[in-house]
Amino acid sequence: MTGEPLGPPWDAADWDGDNDWEIASAADDTPEQLYALWHGAVERSRARLDAALADGGMDQLIHVSGPDGRHANLRRLLCDLLEEYGRHTGHADLLREAVDGRVGEDPPAGWHT
């Protein structure tokens, strides 16, 4: 949103030299490590969104621009993020269903992160 660095572990990624970094970087991580990364990302995301909302609201322009040089506003960024997150959640659901055969939206009783 603001152009500040992403931070670990993404700041150490070789985005230009390793096209599979997103997949290979966590190959040896435990589920607990992966959940910790995800929870940390959620916390940082919520804090940054709260700060952005307090500092200009949904109509403020974000740092990133398109090929034409125009900057989207925060509202557009959030809509795009929700769409992308939902798309990948759907893909993950299909993979999980193919692995365990369980269908539906709810986790098993007693499941916790």
- 89: which residues sit within 8 A by CB, 6+ positions away? none
**Residue pLDDT, tens place only, 15-37:** 788 778 777 888 889 989 989 98
Question: What's the N-to-C CA distance of the chain in angstroms?
Answer: 28
pLDDT at 76: 93
67 located within any domain: yes
Structure tokens at 22: 């997103």
Cα–Cα distances (Å) from 68 to 19, 55, 76, in that order, read 26, 26, 16
pLDDT at 113: 67
Domain that holds residue 47: 10-100
5 located within any domain: no
41 located within any domain: yes
Q: Which residues of the chain have pLDDT under 50?
A: none
69 located within any domain: yes
37 located within any domain: yes
Domain count, the chain: 1
